[in-house]
């Protein structure tokens, strides 16, 4: 984590990225370990793309998404929702599913058309 945020702080990617480094470090610290590793990998990819193309919009979008994700992971309701294990639905016969689609009915039993 430190190497990427240090690269941002150093100005290698431009002066506007120096300010982003603190946002990135704060957001990453709010993520669980596996999520932090995935986010760092993705950040490195986005920064490499920025270096190649010169377009920094993907970096800014990624940082905004990272901040939103970090805020969500601190939310009690979000953690509860993520902890729920979704039960498997009743298995359906493929012919019944095809017939339902051909009839144009949605899950509520109303006509989708």
pLDDT digits (tens, 9 = 90+) for 5-31: 666 666 666 667 777 888 888 888 888
Domain ranges of the chain: 2-103
Question: Which pLDDT score, from 0 to 100, does residue 113 have?
Answer: 47
pTM: 0.58
Query: Taking each helix axis from N to C terminus, what angle separates 2-10 and 33-53, rounded to the nearest 10 degrees?
Result: 30
Let me know if 49 is exposed, middle or buried by CB neighbors in 10 A (0-12, 13-18, 19+).
middle
Let me know if 23 is exposed, middle or buried by CB neighbors in 10 A (0-12, 13-18, 19+).
middle
Question: Which pLDDT score, from 0 to 100, does residue 79 have?
Answer: 79
Show the low-confidence residues of the chain (pLDDT under 50): 112-113
Let me know if 62 is exposed, middle or buried by CB neighbors in 10 A (0-12, 13-18, 19+).
buried
């Amino acid at each position: 984590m430190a190497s990427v945020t240090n690269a941002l702080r150093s100005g290698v990617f431009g002066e506007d990225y120096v300010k982003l480094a603190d946002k990135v470090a704060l957001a990453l610290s709010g993520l669980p370990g596996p999520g932090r590793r995935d986010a760092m990998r993705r950040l490195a990819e986005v920064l490499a793309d920025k270096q190649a193309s010169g377009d920094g919009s993907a970096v800014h979008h990624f940082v905004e998404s990272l901040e939103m994700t970090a805020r969500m992971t601190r939310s009690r309701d979000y953690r509860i929702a993520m902890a729920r294990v979704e039960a498997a639905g009743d298995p359906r016969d493929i012919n019944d599913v095809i017939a339902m689609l051909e009839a144009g009915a949605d899950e509520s039993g109303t006509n989708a058309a």
